[in-house]
């Protein structure tokens, strides 16, 4: 079968690989119909996640048809069209039982600090991902969710990560009616977070980035204010001024380790890997939120350390809330929102690539060419 | 309240200010405090371990399922095995893993050649897309690469003195 093959930093290609097999009674094999490239994949693509092995297939946002199931699979059957949450979760451990599906204790041998994730290095379990024609899906009784009749396939694939992550970013902000919410990052996740902030009753939503076409998109899609930090002398002072010198009630970091905007952070975090990615956006979020405010972090960082002003967290009495999105917990509500037209995730998908064009897709998304917001790969068998 | 520790009830004031609503994890976590009982849940069936799976020393075992992509091999594999002797809390875990990743890239190129496959690095980097969407950027990259390569060749072939004279 065709599958994406990681060869080294910023080098990926399509290759023939053996078909995945059932290795556990709760496994399913899924024939992929759509598979996105995510901002999270860029951390792997840039070679910044430890234990990213050459030969691995990435891809944690995918939909497909179930073509084979193991003997203990009862919740889905061959022929079902499913969307598959990016978290691999057993449903039985103490964490899954408390709906922390992003923090399962039975899906990642290599690290206790993160649950299993499809196609996300060995630090997240060593699973080959969905940027392929077929993929092995463990714990098929827990993750895969039948796509409701009539749902657009592009909406379905966005429910595997972007929608729940954006939504949870807003949810963790503990937004109260009238709150001012600042979202750092106008990628798919940040745009969705800005949109969802309204659902929790925000009074004002501001998004910050430095890519003009994304700001323009966010302004229209999320009906929010959008500012380019390159044209602000200091984004933190700007936010203070525009909130009558109080700071935002809630700041959301939807950027993570690939942040631009501060040379020292970029060099130590992205070039020299002396810290676990560049923490510019998180730094700004902590400094731009008001005293007693909440910082919600969905931006992904590496497993070591980052330079952030933790002293200010103490002195301002901040609450920091963060997690990998618990996709399964949020799906019922979010499917409703999509079906009722409250959220229109497919509008974020600007590019459909054939799976064979995976190298171009990564490059275009990573370098923000051709006004790309969100690319999706379509395998030949699904075209 | 099954979670009240019997043997702590004699402590004066124990629990007088318990406030279940004061839960910063809500609504992310539907708190039941299962984990207070330790690693005691009924585990899923276990995936047979018939490849090498490195596991964090912050847990006692391999998880019930695990990925089978690219088991450790070669020199990078040796470095990864070393890394897993150290906990996730240690640089001696993460820095060797990053080193192993870089070694692995060289191993990947060697493997490609062994299989008679010359990697098309231009295509792997998606530079066809530059030609279409970012010609200026592509020309800049090509120019820089040419400059660096020429300089390197000149230095390596000992012609740098002549080069120096020219400037
Ligand atoms: N927690 C989760 O469950 C989860 C799930 C999906 C993605 N993520 C993470 O969310 C982040 C965003 O994902 P995405 O797909 O939108 O990625 P993306 O790369 O498309 O978007 C990131 C955006 O941030 C902008 N940016 C860079 N530096 C900035 C700064 N200092 N301030 C403001 N904006 C800045 C970039 O220009 C870009 O538009 C990534 O770190 C990704 O790994 C987390
Ligand atoms: Zn993702
Ligand atoms: Zn679990």
Annotate B84-125 with DSSP letters as a single string.
TTS-TTSHHHHHHHHHHHHHHHHHHHHHHHHTT----HHHHT
- Interface check A350 vs B, CB under 8 A: no
For residue B145, the enclosing domain spans 120-167
Ligand whose nearest atom lies closest to the CA of A321 = 1
Query: Lowest-confidence range among A181-195, A326-340, B9-23?
Result: B9-23
Same domain membership, residue A143 and residue A184: no
Residue A253 CA to ligand 2 center (angstroms) comes to: 15
- Interface check A54 vs B, CB under 8 A: yes
The string of pLDDT tens digits covering residues A118-136 is: 999 999 999 999 999 999 9
How many Cβ pairs within 8 Å bridge chains A and B? Answer: 201
Same domain membership, residue A128 and residue A23: yes
Cis-peptide into B27, omega within 30 deg: yes
- Which residues, in sequence order, are CB contacts of A47 under 8 Å at separation 6+? A8, A9, A10, B101, B102
For an interface test with A, give the residue of B41, B67, B141 to mutate (most A CBs within 10 A): B67
**Residue A161 CB–ligand 1 contact under 6 Å:** yes
Residue B97 falls inside a structural domain: no
Count of domains observed in chain A: 2
| Among chain B residues, CA nearest to A168 | B28
pLDDT of B131: 86
The string of pLDDT tens digits covering residues A228-282 is: 999 999 999 999 999 999 999 999 999 999 999 999 999 999 999 999 999 999 9
Same domain membership, residue A140 and residue A58: yes
CA-based R_g, chain B, Å? 28
Domain boundary among A294, A322, A350: A322
pLDDT, chain A, mean: 97
Domain boundary among A322, A339, A355: A322
Residue A49 CA to ligand 3 center (angstroms) comes to: 23
Residue B47 falls inside a structural domain: no
If one residue of A114, A121, A158, A187 were mutated to test the ligand 1 pocket, choosing by the most ligand atoms within 8 A of its CB, it would be A187
Same domain membership, residue A169 and residue A92: no
- Cα gap A281→A256, rounded to integer Å: 7
Assess contact for A88 and A136: CB atoms under 8 A: no
- Cα gap A268→A306, rounded to integer Å: 10
If one residue of A123, A254, A303, A371 were mutated to test the ligand 1 pocket, choosing by the most ligand atoms within 8 A of its CB, it would be A254
Residue B80 falls inside a structural domain: no
The string of pLDDT tens digits covering residues B61-112 is: 999 999 999 999 999 999 999 999 999 999 999 999 999 999 999 999 999 9
Same domain membership, residue A150 and residue A127: yes
ipTM: 0.94
Name the pTM for this structure. Answer: 0.94
- The stretches of chain A forming alpha helices (DSSP H) are 39-45, 94-97, 153-158, 162-172, 188-199, 212-221, 235-242, 263-266, 280-288, 310-316, 327-339, 358-366
Q: Is the pLDDT of residue A336 over 50?
A: yes
Share of chain A above pLDDT 70, in %: 100
- State mean pLDDT over A377-383: 93
Structure confidence at residue B134 as a pLDDT band (50, 70, 90): confident
Structure confidence at residue B157 as a pLDDT band (50, 70, 90): confident
The answer to whether A24 contacts B45, with C-beta atoms less than 8 Å apart, is: yes
Q: What is the 3-state secondary structure (H, E, C) of B2-33?
A: CCCCHHHCCCCCCCCCCCCCCCCCCCCCCCCC
Same domain membership, residue A72 and residue A59: yes
Q: Is the pLDDT of residue A288 over 80?
A: yes
Residue B25 falls inside a structural domain: no
Reduced to 3 states (helix: H, G, I; strand: E, B; else coil), residue A6 is strand
pLDDT of B4: 64
User: Which domain CATH number covers A249?
Assistant: 3.40.50.720
Same domain membership, residue A299 and residue A257: yes
Same domain membership, residue A372 and residue A262: no
In this structure, what are the phi and psi dihedrals at residue B24, rounded to the nearest 5 degrees? -65, -10
Residue B2 falls inside a structural domain: no
Q: Is the pLDDT of residue B48 over 50?
A: yes
Same domain membership, residue A100 and residue A17: yes
The string of pLDDT tens digits covering residues A137-168 is: 999 999 999 999 999 999 999 999 999 999 99
């Amino acid at each position: 079968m065709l599958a994406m093959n990681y060869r080294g930093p910023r080098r990926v290609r399509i290759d023939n690989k053996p078909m995945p097999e059932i290795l556990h009674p709760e496994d399913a094999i899924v024939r992929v119909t759509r598979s996105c490239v995510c901002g999270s994949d860029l951390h792997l693509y840039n070679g910044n996640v430890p234990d990213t092995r050459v030969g691995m297939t990435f891809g944690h946002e995918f939909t497909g048809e179930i073509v084979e199931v193991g003997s203990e699979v009862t919740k889905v059957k061959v022929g079902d069209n499913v969307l598959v949450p990016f978290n691999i979760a057993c449903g039985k451990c103490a964490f899954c039982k408390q709906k922390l599906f992003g923090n399962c204790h039975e899906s990642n041998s290599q690290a206790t600090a993160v649950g299993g994730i499809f196609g996300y290095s060995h630090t997240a379990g060593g699973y080959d991902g969905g940027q392929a024609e077929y993929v092995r899906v463990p714990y098929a009784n827990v993750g895969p969710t039948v796509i409701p009749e009539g749902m657009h396939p592009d909406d379905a694939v966005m429910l595997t990560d972007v929608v729940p992550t954006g939504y949870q970013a807003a949810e963790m902000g503990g937004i109260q009616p009238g709150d001012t919410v600042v979202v750092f990052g106008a990628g798919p996740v940040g745009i969705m977070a800005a949109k969802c902030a309204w659902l929790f009753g925000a009074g004002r939503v501001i998004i910050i980035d430095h890519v003009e076409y994304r700001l323009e998109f966010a302004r229209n899609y999320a009906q929010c204010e959008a500012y380019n930090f390159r044209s602000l002398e200091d984004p933190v002072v700007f936010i203070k001024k525009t909130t009558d010198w109080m700071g935002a009630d809630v700041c959301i970091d939807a950027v993570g380790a690939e942040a631009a905007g501060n040379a020292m952070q970029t060099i130590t975090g992205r070039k020299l890997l002396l810290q676990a990615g560049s923490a510019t956006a998180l730094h700004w979020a902590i400094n731009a939120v008001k005293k007693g405010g909440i910082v919600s972090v969905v931006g992904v960082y590496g497993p070591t350390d980052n330079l952030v002003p933790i002293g200010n967290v103490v002195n301002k009495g901040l609450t920091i809330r963060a997690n990998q999105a618990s996709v399964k917990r949020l799906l019922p509500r979010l499917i409703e929102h999509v079906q009722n037209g409250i959220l229109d995730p497919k509008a974020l998908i600007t590019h459909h690539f054939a799976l064979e064009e995976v190298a171009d897709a990564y490059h275009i998304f990573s370098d923000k060419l051709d006004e790309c917001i969100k690319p999706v790969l379509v395998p030949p068998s699904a075209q | 309240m099954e979670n009240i520790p019997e043997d702590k009830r004699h402590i004066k004031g124990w629990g007088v200010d318990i406030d279940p609503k004061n839960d910063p994890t809500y609504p992310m976590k539907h708190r039941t405090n299962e984990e207070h009982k330790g690693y005691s849940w009924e585990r899923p069936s276990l995936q047979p371990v018939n490849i090498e799976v490195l596991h964090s020393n912050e847990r006692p075992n391999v998880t019930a399922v695990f990925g089978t992509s690219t088991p450790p091999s070669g020199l990078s594999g040796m470095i990864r095995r070393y890394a897993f002797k150290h906990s996730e809390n240690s640089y001696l875990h993460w820095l060797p893993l990053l080193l192993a990743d870089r070694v692995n890239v060289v191993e990947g190129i060697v493997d490609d050649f062994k299989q008679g496959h010359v990697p098309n690095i231009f295509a792997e980097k998606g530079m066809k897309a530059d030609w279409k969407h970012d010609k200026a950027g592509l020309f800049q990259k090509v120019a820089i690469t040419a400059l660096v390569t020429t300089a390197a060749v000149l230095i390596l072939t000992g012609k740098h003195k002549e080069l120096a004279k020219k400037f």
